[in-house]
């Protein structure tokens, strides 16, 4: 995400300009990064981007569940596996199969 210098606003200034900033975000589709003590704190983004992010996260979650479901027969064969080894195997399986599950 590229944010122009004009789109970085100290939160102390944003308080008095919130309606203006929100109107710019909504009409221009830009993102405003609000800073606190010079560090990124929160962002104002178009509502459509929030919806898109939520859909993306849900899709990622479903892809991981599909990968785990596909791995279950192999996982069940390794009943003596430690929790750490199990987690590593599941993560490796997810990475290996993420393109096949549409992630």
pTM of structure: 0.53
Per-residue pLDDT at 100 exceeds 60:
no
In this structure, are 37 and 56 located in the same domain? no
Q: Which residues contact 59 (CB under 8 A, 6 or more apart)?
A: 102, 103
Helical packing angle, 83-97 and 47-77, nearest 10°: 120
The answer to whether position 69 is within a domain reads: yes
Compute the average pLDDT of residues 39-67.
85
Side-chain half-sphere of 39: how many Cα atoms within 13 Å?
1
What confidence tens digit (pLDDT) does each residue in 57-71 have? Answer: 888 888 888 877 877
In this structure, are 27 and 53 located in the same domain? no
In this structure, are 54 and 89 located in the same domain? yes
In this structure, are 41 and 53 located in the same domain? no
Range of the domain at 87: 49-97
Per-residue pLDDT at 34 exceeds 60:
yes
Instruction: Report how far Cα 60 is from the mean position of its chain's Cα atoms.
Output: 9
Question: What per-residue confidence (pLDDT) applies to 98?
Answer: 65
User: Of 9-13, 34-38, 89-93, 96-100, which gets the smallest average pLDDT?
Assistant: 96-100
Alpha helices, DSSP H, located in 29-100: 47-77, 83-97
């Amino acid at each position: 995400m590229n944010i122009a210098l004009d789109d970085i606003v100290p939160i102390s200034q944003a308080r008095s300009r919130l309606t203006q900033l929100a109107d710019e975000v909504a009409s221009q589709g830009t993102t405003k990064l609000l800073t606190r003590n010079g560090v990124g704190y929160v962002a104002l983004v178009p509502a459509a981007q929030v919806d898109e992010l939520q859909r993306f996260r849900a899709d990622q979650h479903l892809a991981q569940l599909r990968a785990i479901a596909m791995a279950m027969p192999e996982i069940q064969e390794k009943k003596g596996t430690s929790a750490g080894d199990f987690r590593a195997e599941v993560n490796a399986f997810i990475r290996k199969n993420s393109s096949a599950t549409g992630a």
